[in-house]
Each structure stands twice: as structure tokens, then as C-alpha cells.
Amino acid sequence: MLAQNRQAESIAMPRTLAVLCLLLIGAALLATVPSVGAQTFTVLHSFGNGNDGAAPLAGLTLDRGGNLYGTTVLGGRQGVGTIFKWSTGSSIYSVLYNFDEEHGMLPRAQVVFGPDGALYGTTQSGGIDGGYGVVFKAQPQSHPCPTVSCPWAVTVLHSFDGFDGFSPTNIAFDPAGNLYGVAQNTIYKLTHGNGSWSYSRVDYVSDPVGLAIDANGNVFGFEGGDPGSAFEIGSSGQLQYIYTFTNNTGTNPNTNPILDSAGNLYGQTLAGGVYLGGTVAELSPSGRGWSASVLNNFMSGSNNGQPGAPNLYMDAEGNIYGTVSQGGAYQYGEVFKLSPSSGGWTSTDLHDFCQAGYPNCSDGCYPFSNVVIDANGNLYGTTSSCGAFSSGEQSGGTLWKITP
């Protein structure tokens, strides 16, 4: 069953720990428990053991080799977040970068690979222009590293000053290599040339939550709030609203759009729908406009809770995966799958968090992560709290894997 309606609760974050620890953290295989059906759930790493970071809120990104990259919003040497890597071949967790005030603090959005193979992302605060957040580029050091645990180099591409936006989150690249992103009330574009990046504001949007870009460079996005809407920015650069959400289709969208090969958009809402707990909805071009269909209604109840994933994931077969931040069988979150079937969609509960019972939630709790899938069909994600090194629901978190 999918998680459904509960009022979102803020995650309690502890004071960050001041610790001294190696950058390279050995893999912590802390919990392996049966999941639904023949699947197996495994904790690959528990956060909060030294300066490995804590509270991963942004989810994960896979490289071509199947290695995982992500960020923590807390922890690290400065206590304001890290970039980390999980090497699947060697099962080693390593901290690639410790954030600081100058290079940004509190990264909350998923990192993405750019056309040059480097990682790009944002932070909610920090930077040299007032502390309103940055867009950054992270890559291995260009010079030989004298140590095994060599930190990556981070370059700030843009530091927000509050007038050009603040608290940036999701980003995406267009086919020409331009970077688009969302910040509070702002959609912006970074253009690369002559060794530097130039900032320009594309448009004002009251609460943009994410973007998707098609092969022709058209930009699609969701605007949050009540009721919320979907918009498109075409080749002319003009923004137009293409759909307004309703109570029936769900309100307050909170995810990056998924754009399929047929041009349909998929996303998740936090409210509305049949049970008022939010929906997963599909928007499809229809004549001169767009139409919406609901794939799932989130519903309150013992096995259901609050939608959590900031980004949904669609596999090659058209199945959609996500997480529920609260709810599930134990009320501490859930991983779900939506599968197209004749006449509708079928929902499957893949894992319910805190199976050992609170406070012994060694598998983690409160997932806000996206789900990613490797070439072998393994699912990966994170939880924002609990785990072997957290204090109950406080901070910590886990990096997990579901093997089919």
C-alpha cells in the first residue's frame, strides 16, 4: 500500500557534532532484512559516525559504473553538509567534499552530472554574496593527490545575493549545455563561455519546485502552492502556464517533472485527490491544451502517510518509484512502486522503515530521497533520520539498497 495523508512534520535535527575523522569511511553493512516478496533490503551505510555527514535529504545519482553520489545537509568537518560517494565495486563509502560558508552550506537538492562529467548541485545557504546559497561544480583534483582519501575540488559557479533569488534547489541541463535551476520565486539560467558562467533570470515564478528539459530544449516545470500549476518555457524564452492543478488531480506539486518519450509529464502532489493526501498524476498534451489523470491517490491510514520523494523515478518499463516520508506499516516511511496495468495502475509497497520498532530503527526512518535503479535492477535511496548512529529520530540516516 502507498503512503497517504498526514500533516508533514519537520525533521528534528540535532546540533552538529564536532568530530575529527578520516574522510574515507569503511562500508557499514548494518542491517539486512526481508522486504516484500522475494526482495531483500540492506543498509549499506549508516550516517552520523564521525564526519561522514548526517541527514541526507537530496537523494542519489548513479554514474555509468553504478557508483552512487549524494549529499548530506548536516555533518562533515564544518557541520554544514558533505558530498559523498558509495563505490559499489568495493563497497566503500567516502566523503568527497566538506562544505563551508564560502562554498555553500546545507545542500538539499540532488546532484547531477553535467556534459563534462563533473557533478553539479546547489546549497540552500552560504556563499560570498550574503549567504543566500550557491550553484557549485565538483570534480576530482586536477593534480596528483598524495593521499588515498583525496577530497574533490568545488567551484562556485554562482553565489546568490537575495535579489537574484535565494535558497536554490533543483537544476537541469539543456542539450546545449546551459544549466537551468529554480530558486525562491525565480527560474534562472547559467550559460558557460570563455571559462566562466553567466547568470540570467528567465522568469519569476512564485514557488518553482523543479524542471525537466526535452531534446529540443523546451523547459517544463511545476509551481507549488495551492493549487499549483505546470508551465513550459519554449525556444522563445517565454513562460506559459499549461495546466492548473485541482483538488481532484491533487494540489501543491512537490517534485521535478518526469518527461517521457511521448511528451507526458509525471509528478507528485502533497494534497488533494480522493483522500486529500496527495496524488501521483500524469499530464498529457491534448489538442491545444493539457489533460490530467491520477495514477495514485495517497490515503490516510495505518499503512499510508505523507508523500516524501522530491523526485520520482521512472524505469524503462514505465514503472514509477518513490518514497513516503511518514506512514507505512510502522509510520516511519515507505518505498513504493507504481506499475501500469490494464485499466489503471497497481501500487506495491517495497519496504516499510523502522521494522525493528522505534527507537531501534537501524534501517532508517523518514525517507525524503528519490529512488534510483542500477543496470541489475537494484534500488537505492536514503533516509533522513534514524539508523545505527542516530539518537532516535534525530539526524543520522541511512544509505540503503533493495535487491529484487
DSSP 10: P
- Binned at pLDDT 50, 70 and 90, residue 38 comes out as low
pLDDT above 70: residue 180? yes
Higher pLDDT, 293 or 194: 293
Q: Residue 391 — pLDDT band, cuts 50, 70, 90?
A: confident
Q: How confident is the model at residue 221 (pLDDT cuts 50, 70, 90)?
A: very high
Could you tell me if residue 75 is inside a domain?
Answer: yes
In a domain, 292, yes or no: yes
Span 288-297, mean pLDDT?
94
18 assigned to some structural domain: no
The amino acid present at 75, given as its one-letter code, is G
Highest mean pLDDT among 66-70, 308-312, 346-350: 66-70
Within-domain flag for 166: yes
Ranges 119-133, 219-233, 379-393: which has the least confidence: 379-393
Residue 118: inside a domain, yes or no? Answer: yes
- The answer as to whether 53 is a domain residue is yes
pLDDT band with cut points at 50, 70 and 90 for residue 342: confident
* pLDDT score for 17: 31
Cα four-point dihedral sign 225, 229, 233, 237: negative
Report yes or no on 14 lying in a domain.
no
Look at residue 262 and tell me if it is in a domain: yes
What is the 3 state secondary structure string of 27-82?
CCCCEEEECCCCCEEEEEEECCCCCCCECCCCCEEECCCCCEEEEECEECCCCECE
Average pLDDT of the segment spanning 305-329:
89
The SS3 assignment for 193 reads strand
Instruction: Quote the distance between the C-alpha of residue 3 and its chain's center.
Output: 18
Instruction: Residue 91: give its domain's CATH number.
Output: 2.120.10.30
pLDDT, average across residues 330-356: 92
pLDDT for position 37: 55
pLDDT band with cut points at 50, 70 and 90 for residue 301: low
Where does the pLDDT of residue 2 fall: very low under 50, low under 70, confident under 90, or very high at 90 and above?
A: very low
pLDDT tens by residue, 104-138: 999 999 999 999 999 999 999 999 988 999 999 99
Per-position DSSP letters for 235-276, written without gaps between them: TT--EEEEEE--TTT-EEE-SBPEE-TTS-EEEEEEEBSTTS
pLDDT at position 208? 96
Cα separation, 191 vs 182, whole angstroms: 15
State the chain's mean pLDDT as an integer.
88
Predicted pLDDT at 12: 36
22-31, 219-228, 348-357 — most confident range:
219-228
Range(s) of the domain holding residue 175: 24-403
Which pLDDT belongs to residue 303? 56
Give the HSE-up count for residue 120: Cα atoms under 13 Å, Cβ half-sphere: 22
Total of domains in the chain? 1
In this prediction, what percent of the chain has a pLDDT beyond 90?
74
pLDDT of residue 25: 34
Mean pLDDT (whole number) for 162-172:
96
Mean pLDDT of 274-291: 93
Q: Are 36 and 348 in contact (CB under 8 A)?
A: yes
pLDDT > 50? residue 349: yes
